[in-house]
Amino acid sequence: MKCKVNKEKCISCGTCIVLAEASFKWDEDGKAVEVVPPGDDEQTIKDAAGACPVGAIEIEE
């Protein structure tokens, strides 16, 4: 499974980083970015993606 943050959509709320801190981090421009490889289990990443208020996290199975 791969995940990717669409930076155009990200509003820097920090939810994904709180929910899946081993899979998302802050980029130098203040947007979230995926950690490669992600360090959380799939369900945690999916939950974080689902919690993004703007749907900026794309999941590829």
Question: Which residues bind to ligand SF4, rule: CB under 6 A?
Answer: 5, 10-16, 32, 52-54, 56-57
Q: Which distant-in-sequence residues (6+ apart) come within 8 Å of 41 by Cβ?
A: none
To the nearest whole angstrom, how small is the minimum distance from the Cβ of residue 61 to ligand SF4?
Answer: 19
Nearer to ligand SF4, 45 or 52 (CB): 52
Provide, rounded to whole angstroms, the least separation between the CB of residue 11 and ligand SF4: 5
The residue count for the chain: 61
Cα Rg of the chain, angstroms: 10
In angstroms, give the least distance from the CB of 47 to ligand SF4.
11
Distance CA 24, CA 3 (A): 10
